Amino acid sequence: MNTIQFLSEGFQTAILPHNLLFAFIGVLIGTAVGVLPGIGPMSGVALLIPVTASMTGGMDPASAATSSIILLAGVYYGAMYGGSTTSILLNTPGESSSVVTTLDGYQMARQGRAGPALAIAAIGSFFAGIVALIALALLAAPLSDVALKFGPAEYFSLMLLGLAAVSGLAGNSMTKAWIMTVFGLMLSTIGMDVVSGVSRFTYGISSLYGGLEFLTVAVGLFALGEVFRTILHKENSDGKIAKVGRILPTRQDFKESSGPIVRGSLLGFFVGVLPGAGATLASFFSYIMEKKISKTPEKFGKGTIAGVAAPESANNAASGGAMIPLLTLGIPGSGTTAILMGALIMYNIQPGPLLFQDHPDVAWGLIASMFIGNLMLLILNMPLVKIFAKIIDTPSKYLLPMIIAISVFGVYAVQVNTFDLFLLITCGLVGYFLASNDFPLAPLVLGLVLGPMIENNMRRALTSSNGDFLVFVQKPVSLVFLVIAILWILIPVLMKLRGKEVIINEEA
């Protein structure tokens, strides 16, 4: 079967009434998550994992996994759409990848052009999403066929590369990012060793024999951690919301934004494919590129529509691109895709090259649903821009109890274990402390998800080589991955040291 046939079967799965409903719920919640400052796609996806588990309780495992991942992916790319709303209206990014949109989006809003800015953001996001999905559909199967030829040594090195890439680009401090990565890997060792049967770090607590439940840790770190931060810091949005007047862009707006949308979509996709690069980096690169090639660079930062179209297209294309390493290699390229990967593993579906062979309904159903979801987002965002803008006014006294209730009841409904409720609260406090001290949470989640697979593949590789560690450098593909991982870590360090030397020499 070729890609077209697989994709057509995927659409047959995606257009089932319950899957259409899940896609709609996902993109609707995702847009709201993106609009609300501070929550972000990672928190939104983590918060809804227990909800999807409850909603799909009566389904067979394969259908439940497909429906759940359709909803969670809808939250992911829906949040990318919604993040632009607060950036443009309040000068407050809904999530990190919308930071660049504030530069020109808020200036447009101050000039009375908030409507066209929001509309171009929605149109650019839609176009970028479709470009990314076409590329995903074309590249997914060939890449998974290549990955099938990988052995345990290659997989071990590839996972180290994914870990190095995300850890190297998360947060402001690489040292803190690596501390969190190691912390995540340490947490992944808790439980029974599947090879020897020895319990590790369980301290006689029977609830720990199965290891730390990913769902509980993710919801605690992101959702409850955000709740504690909001309560303890008494954070409230005091910004003045710009009024949304005319929504439809003019012909000149379309002319000025069409080039940035196309270029941002292509650049964003390729940046998104790189593990660890993510939507934030894509939006920055796209904005810088448009400013460099523009005939009127002085307009950037003063309310040019190209400064909204480029980063918004790039961050949505990047979210589609990030699905490629997740689905084909089993390597999450960002914190959010790590959470999506954890959700798939919860349903006994292992992302990677065998996903397209063993569970084609899940893989192609998800890709097809993303086409439909992007169309839903465009239909939702254009006429409902003014309604979504009012979500910003939701008082914390209503929002926070809802998040707490969903977290507690969701985790208990899935685990039915009071130990997990204590773990949830502990993870919430730890998440608050870490985020308050600028320790990035994404590397911790990635370490927790990839840890067991790294250990398993390392053991398999060493078993086949009779304990010879040279197996990881004797295999050409494995060696290439290890070299790239080392360079990914060393280059930023060397550039930072070089920058310090330049400053010292200038001062001297």
- Across 226-238, average pLDDT: 71
pLDDT confidence tier of residue 333, bands split at 50, 70 and 90: low
| Cβ-contact 197, 407 below 8 angstroms | no
> How many Å apart are CA 25 and CA 113, to the nearest integer?
30
The residues that bridge with 199 in the sheet, in sequence order, are: 192
> How many Å apart are CA 394 and CA 507, to the nearest integer?
50
> How many Å apart are CA 231 and CA 4, to the nearest integer?
50
Residue-averaged pLDDT of the chain: 79
Which residue type, as a one-letter code, is found at position 29? I
> How many Å apart are CA 24 and CA 32, to the nearest integer?
12
Report the run of H or E that residue 74 belongs to, with start and end: helix 61-90
Concatenated DSSP letters for 8-47? HHHHHHHTSHHHHHHHHHHHHHHHHHHHSTTTHHHHHHHH
| pLDDT at 89 > cutoff 60 | yes
- Across 248-259, average pLDDT: 81
* Among 26-30, 292-296, 381-385, the range of highest mean pLDDT: 26-30
Residue-level pLDDT at 287: 83
C-alpha of 323 from chain center:
9
Question: For 194, phi and psi rounded to 5 degrees?
Answer: -65, -20
* Among 17-31, 55-69, 76-90, the range of highest mean pLDDT: 17-31
How big is the CA angle at 219 (ends 381 and 449), to the nearest 5 degrees? 105
Please indicate whether residue 339 or residue 96 has the higher confidence score (pLDDT).
Answer: 339
> How many Å apart are CA 198 and CA 177, to the nearest integer?
30
| Cβ-contact 10, 368 below 8 angstroms | yes
pTM of the predicted model as reported, rounded to 2 decimal places: 0.68
Nearest to 326 by CA among 346, 315, 340: 340
> How many Å apart are CA 76 and CA 321, to the nearest integer?
13
pLDDT confidence tier of residue 55, bands split at 50, 70 and 90: confident
Please indicate whether residue 317 or residue 171 has the higher confidence score (pLDDT).
Answer: 317
> How many Å apart are CA 388 and CA 89, to the nearest integer?
11
> How many Å apart are CA 195 and CA 46, to the nearest integer?
30
Nearest to 222 by CA among 407, 396, 55, 27: 407
Q: Which residue is listed with tokens 């914190």?
A: 335
Judge whether 247 lies within some domain: yes
Concatenated DSSP letters for 120-141? HHHHHHHHHHHHHHHHHHHHHH
Judge whether 508 lies within some domain: no
Question: For 200, phi and psi rounded to 5 degrees?
Answer: -125, 125
Residue-level pLDDT at 235: 56
Among residues of the chain, what percentage have pLDDT more than 70? Answer: 84
Report which DSSP code applies to 242.
Answer: P
Judge whether 64 lies within some domain: yes
Judge whether 507 lies within some domain: no
Judge whether 137 lies within some domain: yes
Structural domain count, the chain: 1
> How many Å apart are CA 132 and CA 5, to the nearest integer?
19
Judge whether 503 lies within some domain: no
Q: Which residue is listed with tokens 């894509």?
A: 282
Judge whether 157 lies within some domain: yes
For residue range 269-284, what is the model confidence (pLDDT) as tens digits? 887 776 655 676 678 7
Tokens of 187: 């947490």
| pLDDT at 483 > cutoff 90 | yes
> How many Å apart are CA 279 and CA 300, to the nearest integer?
20
Among 8-17, 300-309, 334-343, whose mean pLDDT is lowest? 334-343
Taking each continuous run of H as one helix and of E as one strand, the counts in the chain are 23, 2
> How many Å apart are CA 10 and CA 63, to the nearest integer?
13
- Across 141-170, average pLDDT: 75
Report the run of H or E that residue 192 belongs to, with start and end: strand 191-192
- Biggest CA–CA distance in the chain, Å, is 71
| pLDDT at 470 > cutoff 70 | yes
Report the run of H or E that residue 165 belongs to, with start and end: helix 152-169
pLDDT confidence tier of residue 92, bands split at 50, 70 and 90: low
> How many Å apart are CA 315 and CA 309, to the nearest integer?
10
CA atoms within 13 A on the CB side of 251: 0
The number of residues making up the chain comes to 508
> How many Å apart are CA 319 and CA 324, to the nearest integer?
10
Nearest to 370 by CA among 140, 215, 38: 140
- 453 is in which domain, residue-wise? 3-497
Helix or strand or coil: residue 199?
strand
Nearest to 317 by CA among 181, 180, 125, 152: 125
Among 51-65, 166-180, 237-251, whose mean pLDDT is lowest? 237-251
| Cβ-contact 485, 218 below 8 angstroms | no
Residue-level pLDDT at 187: 92
Question: For 199, phi and psi rounded to 5 degrees?
Answer: -80, 140
Judge whether 504 lies within some domain: no
